[in-house]
Every structure is written in C-alpha cells, then in structure tokens.
C-alpha cells in the first residue's frame, strides 16, 4: 500500500493525509520523496521496493544530530553506545554516503573530552568526511572558539560555510551564538549578508541544501524551537527551485513543505524529546529502555540529478 | 515626682519589652524575602520569576534540570559559567535596581531580580 497524494488542494505537493503521515514518523521510519514538487511517502518496509525503482541518486549523504556526548542522565546513560549504533547503521547502508552532516550538539557540555570522544567514534564511519554545524551545547562558555578550532577549520564568522557536491549547493549556518534574552535561535546580520552574497552567483536551478542546528522554521517558539531571523535567510532562497532545510535540536523528525522548500528535522542519536506542547517543557524524555532505540536514528538523503528531488529517509536505530 | 519617674521607667521598660518581640516578629515576617534569594532552575524556567531583595543580598541559583543552563544578566552585569545538573551560581546585589536576566543557552528563559 503506497501513499501517493490523493488530495493536493493547495498544489503544494502535500495533502493533509500525507502531512500527518510524515508527522508520525518518529519511531516508525518512513521514506519521503519529493519529485517535481510532489511528495510521496512509503513505509520503511517498502524501502527496498522504492530504492529499486527510479530513486537511485547520484549523491547520497547522511544527517546525524544531537549526539550530546557527556550526557549521562536516565533518558540515556549510554550516549556513546547509541552513537556507535548510528555509525553501524550508516556503515551498513546499501549506498555508502558521500559524506555525513552533523547538525550540532556534538557534546553535552562543550568539554574537551566530550569532543574527543565524538571525534574518535566518528573515525569509524566509512565515508568521505563529516561536515558540522554547532549546537548550543557546543558553544558553552567560549562562544564556540573550541568548537571552531576542532570542527570548523576554514569556516567563516561563528562557523558558517558553503560547499558544492555534484551540482548541489550546501550551506551550513550557525544559529546558536549571541542569543538574545527572550528570543529564539539567531543568525545575525553578518551571516545574513554573507548568505545573500553566497547564493547570488548561483543559477536558480541549483538544488540548495541548508543545514543548521535549531530549526529555521517556527516549529514551536514556546519552547524556543525556531529562529528569529530564519525567514530572512529563506527570503534569499525564494528563487531556487529546490531548497531542502535540514535541522536538529528537537530530537524528533518533523517535516513541512512550503512552496519549493522542504523543512526536515532529524532524530537525535542520544535521547528523544517530547512532542511540542505535550510536556511542561522541552528536555530529555525518559522512555522504557526497550523503546529508546526506536526514537533515535539517522537521516539518509538522496539527490537525483535533473529531477529536482531529494529523497529523505529517517531510520530509527531499532524498530 | 520620683514615683512618676519610676512609673515612667517601668512603662518604658514594659514598652521596650513589647517592642523587642515586635521587632523580632517583624524580622521573622521579613525572612521569606531572604529565603527567596534562592532561585531554582527547573523545567526550563527560573522560579520565582521575580525575586525582590534588599541590597546586600546574595542570590543563589541551583540548576535542578537535567540539561545545562546559564544565568546571564541582560546588561552583562553578572554571568555564570554553564551550570550542569545540581550546580550553583551566586551573585551579591549591592546596588538597588532591577536586574533582568536569562539563560544564554535557552534564551526563552527570562526572569528578574529587584533590589531595593
């Protein structure tokens, strides 16, 4: 049973049913493909079938997020163990990813030994390299100086940068530094100006992937799950036919499609958080030990040239 | 006259006697404000959100959450290191005024200290 879109009243490539299915990903695993503005979703069990079809991409990469090395509370006393399970999952993918994106909160307390442990463990990844952006837990006490020395060499400002792979333009943004009282995530004027210049030279047909720690869209501002100047950043990307925004921070999968922009958040490799508004506050959610690995996982992304499509697959560490 | 003086002295001593316990009662009544110099950080919030203290009070924040937080004055008058679970930060307020502060890790968390 596939879930092709039946009702697409707004012509935005997604119907309510499909949207709800995507919202219900956490812990189940689903596979969404955006092709020509049409979103198709498959249950994880259909993945082999889907992959066997026209979905083989020229560029495949994986997003991991929120490893929180150093966290040792009851929600997950073994964050190294679950990170290693995520690495094993990546190494077992049928198509080896070209690289891995880590969307922040590498560490829990920005401690050198936490960064060491993350770096050492990620060395066992069978992939080209790892690209990082910092989370708020990586810039504690020093505004990210240590993070940039270790993981942000050659980056600009607080750690932002861009690069190109197989015709796709990747942009890593930092929205966790210089946060203002009462506010949300923040990119700041310098970074916005850089972004505007960075994309100016690109053709509108260039697929864009933006990755940053805190969601660039307002997932749930009451819990700080959004970025104050996120919309400003996205205004520079309006002319592009395909924009994919990958975030972490909220430790659960969520997806929203708005015009040509697909917003997606990844699971954590460390601990889950409650769905927005279902708990007194954000924070580690304690679940029965046997459920934990079904709420942690990785995100696999495939790009098919010429099809304007990025296929995003979330896979929990265990089902 | 002498009797009157003695009477007045007795009255004065009696008055003093009533005043002293009154005074100490008042001190006891005021004690909640010195107890409020403790601020608890839990569930991504500062409790109480507003604390009013006399100048010279030392306010101590304790992080009871299982994620790290900071205590940072909006005007950067005071700034804690990151506080892990059960870690504390103290600051002594010597000058009257209103001191808004927030958690620089989770800036939605805001509160204030009022010093009179």
Bridge pairing between strands A38-43 and B38-42: unpaired
Residues of chain A positioned with their CB less than 8 A from the CB of B101: 181
A189 CA to centre of own chain: 23
| Domain ranges for chain A | 16-316
- pLDDT, tens digit, for every residue of A76-117? 999 999 999 999 999 999 888 999 999 999 999 999 999 999
Q: In whole angstroms, what is the distance from residue A62 CA to residue A29 CA?
A: 15
CA neighbor of A30 nearest in space, from A257, A287, A314, A318: A314
> How far is C-alpha A47 from the chain's CA centre?
20
Instruction: Please name which of A167, A164, A178 lies closest in space to residue A309, comparing C-alpha atoms.
Output: A167
- Give pLDDT, residue A311: 86
Q: What is the pTM of this model?
A: 0.81
How many whole angstroms separate alpha carbon A38 and alpha carbon A11? 9
Of the two residues A175 and A304, the one the predictor is more confident about is A175
CATH architecture for the domain at A16-316: 4-Layer Sandwich (3.60)
- Contact yes or no for A182 and B43 at CB 8 A: no
- Report chain B residues whose CB lies below 8 A from the CB of A284: 66-67
Q: Where are the alpha helices (DSSP H) in chain A?
A: 16-23, 47-52, 79-91, 112-122, 145-151, 189-200, 230-235, 289-292
Indicate if ipTM > 0.85.
no
- Interface A-B: count of C-beta contacts within 8 A: 56
Secondary structure of residue A280 in the 3-state scheme: coil
Nearby residues of A68 by Cβ (< 8 Å), 6 or more positions away: A79, A105, A107, A108, A137, A268, A270, A271
Identify from A135, A147, A181, A270 which residue to disrupt to test chain B contact, counting B C-beta atoms within 10 A and taking the largest count. Answer: A181
pLDDT in tens, B67-113: 999 999 999 999 999 999 999 999 999 999 999 999 999 999 999 99
Asked if B101 and B74 touch (Cβ cutoff 8 Å), the reply is yes
Range in A49-53, A242-246, A265-269 with the lowest mean pLDDT: A49-53
Q: How far is A49 from chain B (nearest CA, A)?
A: 42
């Amino acid at each position: 049973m596939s879930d092709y879109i039946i009702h697409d009243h707004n012509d935005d490539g997604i119907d309510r049913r499909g949207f709800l299915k995507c919202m219900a990903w956490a812990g189940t695993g689903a596979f969404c493909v955006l092709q020509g503005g049409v979103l198709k979703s498959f249950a994880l069990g259909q993945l082999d079938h889907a992959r066997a079809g026209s979905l083989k991409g020229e560029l495949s990469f994986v997003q991991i997020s929120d490893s929180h090395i150093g966290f040792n509370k009851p929600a997950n006393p073994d964050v190294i163990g679950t990170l290693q399970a995520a690495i094993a999952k990546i190494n077992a993918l049928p198509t080896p990813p070209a690289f891995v994106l880590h969307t922040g909160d590498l560490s829990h307390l920005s401690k050198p030994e936490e960064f060491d442990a993350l770096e050492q463990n990620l060395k066992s990844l069978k992939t080209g390299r790892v690209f990082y952006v910092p989370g708020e837990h990586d810039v504690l006490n020093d505004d990210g100086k240590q993070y940039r020395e270790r993981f942000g060499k050659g980056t600009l400002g607080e750690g932002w940068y861009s690069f190109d792979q197989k015709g796709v333009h990747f942009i890593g943004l930092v929205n966790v530094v210089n946060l203002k009282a009462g506010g949300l995530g923040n990119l700041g004027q310098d970074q916005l100006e850089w972004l505007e210049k960075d994309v100016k030279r690109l053709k509108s047909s260039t697929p864009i992937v933006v990755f940053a720690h805190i969601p660039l869209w307002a997932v749930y501002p009451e819990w700080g799950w959004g970025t104050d100047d996120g919309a400003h950043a996205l205004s520079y990307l309006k002319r592009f036919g395909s924009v994919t925004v990958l975030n972490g921070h909220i430790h659960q999968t969520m997806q929203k499609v708005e015009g040509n922009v697909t917003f997606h958040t990844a699971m954590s490799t460390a601990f889950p958080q409650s769905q927005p508004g279902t708990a007194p506050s954000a924070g580690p959610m304690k679940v029965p030990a046997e459920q934990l690995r079904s709420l942690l996982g990785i995100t696999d992304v495939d790009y098919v040239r010429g099809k304007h499509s990025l296929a995003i697959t979330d896979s929990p560490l265990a089902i | 006259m002498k009797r009157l003086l003695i009477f007045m002295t007795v009255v004065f001593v009696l008055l003093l006697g009533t005043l002293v316990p009154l005074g100490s009662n008042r001190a006891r009544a005021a004690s909640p404000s010195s107890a409020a110099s403790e601020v608890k950080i839990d569930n991504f919030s500062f409790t109480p959100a507003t604390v009013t203290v006399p100048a010279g009070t030392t306010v101590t924040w304790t992080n009871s959450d299982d994620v790290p937080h900071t205590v940072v004055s909006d005007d950067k008058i005071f700034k804690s290191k990151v506080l892990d679970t059960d870690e504390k930060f103290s600051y002594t307020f010597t000058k009257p005024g209103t001191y808004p502060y927030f958690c620089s890790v989770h800036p939605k968390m805001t509160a204030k200290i009022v010093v009179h």
